[in-house]
Each structure stands twice: as C-alpha cells, then as structure tokens.
Amino acid sequence: MGRLTRRGLTAAAFLWPCAPALLRAQTWPSGTIRLIVPFPAGGSVDALARLAQPGLERRLGATVIVENRPGAGGSVGANMVAKSPADGLTWLFVFDTHAVNPTLLPSMGFDANRDLDPVMLIGTAPMVITAHPGQPYRTLADIIAAARDKPGTIPYGTIGNGSLGHLAMTLLAKRAGVRFNHIPYRGGGPLVNDALGGHVPLAIASSAVLAAHLAAGTLRPIAQTGTARAATLSAVPTVAESGFAGFEAEAWWAVFAPAGTPAAMVQRFNAELTASFRDESILRQLTENQQVKLMTAGPAELKRFFEGQMAIWGQVVRENSIKAD
C-alpha cells in the first residue's frame, strides 16, 4: 500500500468538498431530463424545445420531456427552475421576455442573474411590423404619417404588455415623436388571429410567429427590426433603413439552468443541444419555419448578451412607466 504523504492529504482535503459534484457529473444523466418551457404549447419557445427533444434524448441516452409551465410572461416557469436542484435534470428554455421581466416584474420571486446560470444563446430573429392587406399602410413612413395626423389613435397589437414588440414600438414612437394605441394580446395565437381578421390593423411580433402568414400574403410586412435584413425577408426594409438609424430590436431564444449546475453538465448539455439543432432536418425547420438565425453560443456569450438586453429594455420600461398586464 502506498504511503499517505502530507501532499496527498492536502490534495485530498482540497478535492473532498468537490467530490459529490464530480461524482454527479460523471454519472449524469441518471434520471428524466425536463426542458421547462414557461409558455403555453404552440409558441416559438415550445417549438424550439420540441425540436431539440428527440436529438437530446438520443445523444444523452436519457428520457427527455418538454414541460410547459406558463404564467406572468415566463416568470412562473423561470421561478420554478431557479428553485430546482442544480443536478442537470432541469433546463429552462426562454425568449426575450426573460430580459424584460426583472424590471417589469420586480416581485417575481427570483433574481435572473443570481439564481439561474447561462447555458446557450440559441439564436435570434427580427421583429416584423405588419399590416392587414386591407389597410393602406405600405411603408413605415405611411404609419408614422398616420400617427402624426391622428395622435394616439392608430392601433397596433403585440403578444402582451411589456413584450419586446411593445417596447420596440414604444421606442420607435419616441424617436418619431408620435403616439400609437397599443393593443396587448395574451400570446401570439390571439394576436395573429385578430391581425388576420383585420380586427387590429397593425401587428408586431417575431418573424418566427409571423413567417407562415407573411409567406402566404395574408399579412403585409412593413419593416423588420434587425440590424440587417434577414435572408428570408430580403425584400423587407429594416427600421434603420426606414429613417431610424441604429434602431435594433431582435427576438432571441436561450437556455438557462439552476445556479450551481456543474460546469461539466452544462458543457455536455450545450454540446449535445448544439448537435441536435445542427442536425440537417432540424436546422432546416429552424431557419425556414421558425425564421431563427442559429447561433448556439455558450454561457459566457449568453451572459454578456443577456446583461446587455436587460440594460436596454429595462431602461425603456422605466422611462415609459410600462407596467405588466
């Protein structure tokens, strides 16, 4: 038997507190993995999680389920994940409301930076301002002119109060010196239904929500909010090109985990999720059907991106006294 040296004792003392985490990481996954979607089934976040599920299940060799936990702009499900064990069995899929909620919902019960660890920035997509084909609006200038002519009376719909679409239009109105009439809906489904029926003349949502209707010509695209034209919307000008230099408001999707989830688990989950999304058939669905620009960026990049989004949209919420529904 080898002699136990002082150096060996020191190393053992250093490693002992880490032993349980190292053991868990080596045996992971050893149970059912839950992908928590904090929105109802049928939305863009739900679609991304369900696209990822089969590939994750196959690559991780574990049962993977998608669990919808909707409520309060995604904060109910996020709160549940923030309070879950950091054992690599619970992962949170979110989109852009996740960066707005800390300012919009100051009593949501958890700290988005402290209680959740970044895992992956899945991708981005522009918001698109659209009009019903029966409306006279064909350019952003037409909409701005109408708002100047009839202040506060031109309605536009979004997926909800405090949503990125609402904040983007609030910022646009401020830069243009006009006022619109905001009509909040409870999700993309109700918004699209009323937009298609002409019950709301203008709507703004991510291209993922609107793609099928833009392709079918049942909604008319007016402007997109990315820094450059999306490849799938090459004929649609950006807001920046339409007279508002530097304007940017992109939808985004990401994954977080309970704070303290072992780095080895995060790294492997990130790698297997990347492989799942980059599978040829899944990638085609993401880019063509969901209109997502796939990024699969890691924890450090997501952390920087998320903090930047919190700063930008938190300021819009505060400066315009925007309240949750």
Residue ranges in 278-298 assigned as alpha helix (H): 280-284
First to last CA, the chain: 69
Output the pLDDT for position 165: 96
DSSP state of 237: P
Confidence of residue 187 (pLDDT cuts 50, 70, 90): confident
Dist. CA 178–CA 316, nearest whole Å: 16
* Cis amide leading into 190 (omega within 30): no
Dist. CA 202–CA 131, nearest whole Å: 5
Output the pLDDT for position 76: 95
Residue with the larger pLDDT of the pair 31 and 19: 31
Tell me the pLDDT tens digit for each residue of 255-293.
Answer: 999 999 999 999 999 999 999 999 999 999 999 888 899
**pLDDT average, residue stretch 104-115:** 94
Look up residue 114 and give its amino acid: R
Confidence of residue 24 (pLDDT cuts 50, 70, 90): low
Phi and psi angles of residue 174, each rounded to the nearest 5 degrees, phi first: -65, -45
β 250-258/116-131 pair status: antiparallel
Give the chain's domains with CATH numbers. 32-124+251-319 (3.40.190.150), 126-233 (3.40.190.10)
Tell me the pLDDT tens digit for each residue of 32-86.
Answer: 999 999 988 888 899 999 999 999 999 999 999 999 999 888 999 999 999 999 9
Q: What is the dihedral of CA 55, 60, 61, 63, to 10 degrees?
A: -70
Dist. CA 121–CA 60, nearest whole Å: 20
Buried b / exposed e across 82-95, counting CB within 10 Å, b at 16+?
A: bebebbbbbbbbbb
Output the pLDDT for position 1: 43
Output the pLDDT for position 42: 82
Q: Is the pLDDT of residue 178 over 60?
A: yes
Dist. CA 2–CA 101, nearest whole Å: 57
Q: Is the dihedral of CA 6, 12, 13, 14 positive or negative?
A: positive
**pLDDT average, residue stretch 18-30:** 66
Which residues does 28 contact at the CB level (< 8 Å), separation at least 6?
Answer: 87, 88, 262, 264, 265, 268
Q: Provide the β-strand partners of residue 95.
A: 253
Tell me the pLDDT tens digit for each residue of 203-223.
Answer: 999 998 999 999 999 999 999
Q: Is the pLDDT of residue 18 over 80?
A: no
Output the pLDDT for position 188: 85
Dist. CA 126–CA 233, nearest whole Å: 10
Dist. CA 316–CA 14, nearest whole Å: 47
**pLDDT average, residue stretch 158-175:** 95
Output the pLDDT for position 288: 86
Q: 244 with 141: CB under 8 angstroms?
A: no
Q: Write the CA distances from 187 to 11, 40, 101, 206, integer angstroms.
A: 54, 9, 16, 12
Output the pLDDT for position 306: 98
**pLDDT average, residue stretch 241-264:** 97
Residue reference for tokens 């309605």: 155
CA nearest 91: which of 114, 120, 111, 60?
120
Give the Cβ contact number of residue 44 at 10 Å: 24
